[in-house]
Structures are given as C-alpha cells and as structure tokens.
Chain A
Amino acid sequence: MENILQQVGIDNYIYLSTLLFCVGIFGVLYRRNAIVMFMSIEIMLNAVNLLLVAFSTYHQDAAGQVFVFFSMAVAAAEVAVGLAILVAVYRNHNGIDIDNLKKLKG
C-alpha cells in the first residue's frame, strides 16, 4: 500500500478526485438527461470515496476505508430509489428530460 502511494504521491490522488468531482458537477449542470445527471452524481460520490481511501492510506488509518464501504452501501440504496423515481417519471412524462419536470413551479 505504502508502495503505491510512494510511486504516485498523495497530491496526484487529490488532483484526480478534484477533476472527477468537477466532471461530475459539470455533467449535472450541462446535461438534461436525468440518467446522465444521475451518473454524474455517482462520479462525484466516487471522487469523494477515492479521496477518502487515499487519505486513509496516507494516515495509516483504516477508519476511512470502513467509512467508504458505508458510503458505497448508501450509494447503492440511493441508486435503487433514484432509478425507481426515474422509472416513475418516465411513465408519467414519456421521457426523462428534466426540462419537462416543471410542475413544482411557484
């Protein structure tokens, strides 16, 4: 483990996860397809997971990695709920373009 960290360096992990996170953000902001937005959110989540694991290794503390397992489990549940919502949306609107979801307008 330490080997890997020495080979690549903690800062590169930080850069990578920042990059992934930004990709996720821009994906959420620019795409109109709900599934793609959903995937972008997953990217953001995984960027954070990656950073957690990296720091966990850096600090020689397994707690971060345990935490990631929890995070992944929650993400799996979230995906189940999210996809179910998307199916429901699709049935009602015949599509999953979020620009059509304007019923909650004030």
Chain B
Amino acid sequence: METNLALLLLFAPFAGFLINVFFGKKLGRNASGILGTLAVTVSFAATLFFFLQVMNTKVPVMVNLFEWLKLANFTVNFSFQLDQLSLLWLMFVTGIGTLIHMYSISYMHDDENMHKFFAYLNLFVFFMITLVMGSNLLIMFIGWEGVGLCSYLLIGFWYKNQTYNDAAKKAFIMNRIGDLGFLIGIFILGYLFHTVEYDMMKTELTNGWPVDKTWLGIAMLCLFIGACGKSAQIPLYTWLPDAMAGPTPVSALIHAATMVTAGIFMITRLNFLFNLTPDVLEIIAVVGAVTSLVAASIGLVQNDIKKVLAYSTVSQLGLMFLALGLGAYEIAVFHVITHAFFKACLFLGSGSVIHALHGEQDMRNMGGLRKVMKITFITFLISTLAISGLPPFSGFFSKDEILMTAFHHNKVLWIIGSLASIMTAFYMFRLLYLTFYKDFRGTEEQKHHLHESPSLITFPLIVLAILALVGGAISLPGMSWLNEYLAPVMAKPAEHHHLGNTEYMLMGIAVVGALIGIGIAYAKYIKKGEVPPADAEITGVTNVLYNKYYVDEIYTAIIVKPIYAIGSFFKNVIEVALSGFVFGLGRAATLLGNEGKTIQNGSVGFYLLVFVLGVCSILGYIFLVK
C-alpha cells in the first residue's frame, strides 16, 4: 500500500509527461493543461498523506524497489526514502508546482506548443521528486541531472529566439561544471564508505567507521561545487539571471522555488557529513555571504523586472548558504520554504504584469498598475514586504534567524548579510514603486489594453501571498515547530537562541535596516519621481553594477576565449597536420599504384621473359651465391 502510493506520488507527473508528449496535441490546449495540473495534484495529495503520517508516527517510510548495482563490496539499491526532510521538500515542490501548473494554463494559453510546455513541466516535477525522494546519492544524481535537463528545455522553450537558446545552453553548461563536482564527490564518498545510502553512511559513522578526514573534506568540497552550480552561487551564478529567458511560470517554479534549492537540500541531507568538515562549512558560509551581497548590489540597478527578481533569488540563496555554512540547517530550510512562497508569488506576479503588458519586461515602461491590477498589486505588496523582512511577514522570521545566527558566529558575516538585506528591501521597493505607482509610462496602446489577469492567474497569487504572510508561523523564535519536526534528520540538535536583549536588538536593527532601504526607495522613486535612465545614460558605479560587474565579460575573456583558442588551434594546426599526414600516406599509395600498373602492359611475352629471368635469378642465387 505504502509502496504503491509512493510510486503513484513519483510516477503521476511522469505519466502526465508521457501523455502530454504523445497525445498532447490531440488533446487540445485546455485538456493538456488540466491533465498536467492534475498529475501534479495527485502527487501533492499523496505527499500530504505521507506528510501527515510521518508527522504523527515520526517513522520514515522506506521503499526499496530493487537492487540496482552490485559490485564487490558496494551495493546501490533503487530505493526511496520518505522522511521528514524529503516530505517537507515534496510538500512545497508539489504544492507550489500545482499552483504554478494551474497558473500556466492561463499564462501559456496563446502558445502554440502548450502541450509541450506542460510535458516539460511535468517531467521537471517528476525529476524533482526523484531528487528529493531518493535514498542514496545516485538516485539523487538522476534527479539532479533530470531537473537540469528540464531547466534547459524550459529556458529555451521559445527556441526560435537565439538569445534564449544561448541562455539555455549557458545554464546547462554551467550546471554541468557543478555536476562534475557533485559526481566526483559521490565517487569519493562511495570509496570512503563503500555505500552511498544516507542511512548506511550515518550508521557507519555512529559505529565508528574510520574515515579519512582529508578525503572527506575533498568530497564535501566537491559536493559543494555541485551545489554552487545548481543553486547559483559564486562563481557559477551567472546562468540564473540569464535563465529568465524562459516563460515566467518556469522562472517561478524552477528558478526560484524548487530546482535552485536542490543544492541546499543536498547539503541538509548530508548534514551529518558536513558537520565533520568545519573548514568546508566555513567556505560555504563565506561564499554564501559574498554571493548574497554581490547579487543584491547588482539587483539595485537592473531595469528588467525579472532580472531584479533573478538577482534577488541569487542573493536569497546566498543567505541560505550562509545559514548552512554556520551549521544552522533548520534555518536554511526555513528560509527555503518562506522564500519559495514569496518568491514564487513575486515571479507569478511579475508574470501577471508582463501578461497584462503583452510581453513588456522593462520597468521603465511600466508604472501606475496599482489601479488596474488590484489583486496582483496586493499579493505583490505582501510578498515584497515578506522578502524585505518586515514583521509579521514570513521573510522576517527566516531572515532574522539567519542574521541572528551569523551574529553569534561571525560579526563580519552578519554585517555582509545585513547589508544584503537592506539592499534587498531597497531594490524590491524600487521594483514595486516603478511598476505599480505613479503614472503609466508605456505606449497608449498598451495602456488601453491594461487589465487584471484572469482568476486562474490570480488564484495562485492569492494562495501564495497568504502563505507568504503566515508562513513564518512554522518556526517562530523560541517555539519552533520546524526545528522539532526536522530533529530526527539532523545530526546535531538545533541551536536555541535565548531571546535576550541582544536578540531583540538584532531584530530591531534588521527592521530598521529594511525600513531604511524602503525609505531610500520611497524618497527616490515616489518623492522625486525618478525613473531609471536609458541604457546609454548610465554612468559610473551604476554602470558597473548595471553590467553585473562585467562578470560575464570576464568569464568570456578568461575561460571561453582560451577554450575557443585551443579549439581553433587543434582545428587549424593539429587537425591539419594529422589529416595531412594520413592523406599523404593515401596519396603516396595511389601514386605508387599508378606507376606500378604500367608494368602490367598486357604483353604475354614480356611477362614470360620476366618470369624466366626471375626463375633464373632464384636458381642462380640458390646454386651460385649460397
């Protein structure tokens, strides 16, 4: 019963994918959309069942399907593990997945390849479930690769535009670099533990299995590189902003709420190993903090509504990695969940705006939408308040926990994180003001067509906004349901911060910081009514930020160009030399043959003469010389 239900959970989206791929066109637009949504809803229902069961019994559900690989002393099972952590992840993957599928029915309605869109989306959910549900690293790797593939397919969904294809390729290749790290990490762990099952590794560790600390450190670092690729951390973050080329529901589902949190999931899953390598945790914390600051600073000046949100995602992911690096896995998970709520809502809200403006994404051409798009505006406002970290919205609790933990461990990381939060508040309100306040700055025709989106779009927005509003309740400071819930999968008990004066002061500082950010945005864009200048007029520091610190250009110069140079060297020099040699041999043989064939002139007399001379010389050699 449990096995069947778990398989249903896993394969419902896959069935949706198959049906949409093979019969989607015949089914028609609405049917294929509804089918895709239903498939994910089934998964959500199954997840809910398991979630409630495991919450009550506190016993994880294990599903062992078959033995997949058996080598000398190394076995890999094809098995799944539904424990507290994976079920929590599944809850928001399938839950938000359902909402976004629903949203896409309306959003993608005019697209000719709508069935393909839903097929890919379902496939993505399937792989994401595989990633989360697997009971060992190899199954996770299958899902890990699968979501990467779906991300590629969906970023390049509008494949007729070459820039979108390039963005898709960029995402795929950057992820590939990380995946290599992930794979090497798995190999090293397999070598160290003779298994890649999470539970067996844990048991071996508690039984005092001897582990080489150096190799373990290398393995953890490699896994972190994998996480960097998937979760867009420095230095592999540049694909995520470009990934906004995909349709907006894709950005919301894959590049904000679910796939990009896979790295955090993996590190949380292996927290018992990461705890053994404090040096790697230190690196994770620093990388996370720096990423959050760098991405937030780039987000300050972007004008594309989705680009702002993309950099905001990178920045928030950085904060999560900061929490992971400090060993506060529960808090990272908490922020993943609240972030999934408000960021999905923000992306879907921006999608609603883009939908109303017929594809316009530049905030300089927006404004005043508050009056026409009331629901979108209110949900967007709630999510913006949540991401800015104002109480009592969910983002306040999770972000505050991260900053508080950072404060207790390392003041510098706390300052960096706080700066990033202030910047976040600023650019989010900048976005809000530019999009929804003042007067409309687009064309007359666009203005004429402005409309609130249909209810299939606004319903998910409302649900997500409510979750963004109250989501913080799962882990209130002092009485955290989440910490208790996750305790069985964590190697170390969660740190309890006594709520003293310092803590209240820190909260105060965080709120004041956010208010300062909002205040600056208000003064700049409401009081003075500024609109960001056209691209050509951007100067100075702003220009550097607007061009994303020229990181893409630097990567092009130091990595892409040399690789091209090596490629063309091999093509123009080595290839020419080698093939010249091979062709030369062939030509020499042909030449020799052409010359040689004249000897065979057809004259029998000549043949005979040669024959006799040959026999004579052989005889002469035998009798006279020898």
Contact = CB atoms under 8 A, between A and B. Distances in A.
A99 B603 contact: yes
Interface string B589-603: 000000011111111
Query: Most A CB atoms within 10 A — which of B596, B602, B603?
Result: B602
Contacts of A28: 608, 612
Contacts of B596: 106
A103 B602 contact: yes
B71 interface: no
Contact of B608 (A29, A99, A105): A29
Contact of A101 (B598, B604, B609): B604
A29 B602 contact: no
Given A105-B600, A106-B597, A106-B600, A25 B612 contact: yes
A1 interface: no
A102 B597 contact: no
Q: How large is the interface on A (under 10, 10 to 19, 20 to 34, 35 or more residues)?
A: 10 to 19
Interface string B570-601: 00000000000000000000000000111111
Contact of A104 (B600, B608, B612): B600
A106 B599 contact: yes
Interface string A12-33: 0000000000000100110010
Contacts of B603: 99, 102
Contacts of A106: 596-602
Contacts of A99: 603-605
Chain A, interface SS category: loop
Nearest to B612: A25
B607 to A, nearest CB: 10
Nearest to B593: A106
A54 B612 CA distance: 25
A13 to B, nearest CB: 19
Contacts of B600: 104-106
B605 A104 contact: no
A98 interface: yes
Contacts of A105: 600-602
Contacts of A102: 601-603
Contacts of B605: 29, 32, 98-99
A78 B87 CA distance: 93
B232 to A, nearest CB: 70
A10 B598 CA distance: 46
A30 B601 CA distance: 18
A102 B612 CA distance: 20
Nearest to A30: B605
Contacts of B609: 29
A40 to B, nearest CB: 10
Interface in B62-114: none
A105 B604 CA distance: 10
A91 B321 CA distance: 97
A25 B608 CA distance: 9
Contacts of B597: 106
Contacts of A104: 600, 602
Nearest to B605: A98
A57 B605 CA distance: 37
A101 B612 contact: no
Contact of B602 (A25, A32, A101): A101
Contacts of B599: 106
Interface string A81-100: 00000000000000000110
A15 to B, nearest CB: 17
B602 A98 contact: no
A102 B606 CA distance: 11
A101 to B, nearest CB: 6
Interface in B263-300: none
A103 B602 CA distance: 6
19 contacts: A25-B612, A28-B612, A29-B605, A29-B608, A29-B609, A98-B605, A99-B603, A101-B602, A101-B604, A102-B601, A102-B602, A102-B603, A104-B600, A104-B602, A105-B602, A106-B597, A106-B600, A106-B601, A106-B602
Given A103-B602, A105-B602, A106-B599, 16 more contacts: A28-B608, A28-B612, A29-B609, A29-B612, A98-B604, A99-B605, A101-B602, A101-B604, A102-B602, A102-B603, A105-B600, A105-B601, A106-B596, A106-B598, A106-B600, A106-B602
Q: Nearest 6 pairs between A and B by C-beta?
A: A105-B602, A102-B602, A106-B597, A106-B600, A98-B604, A104-B602
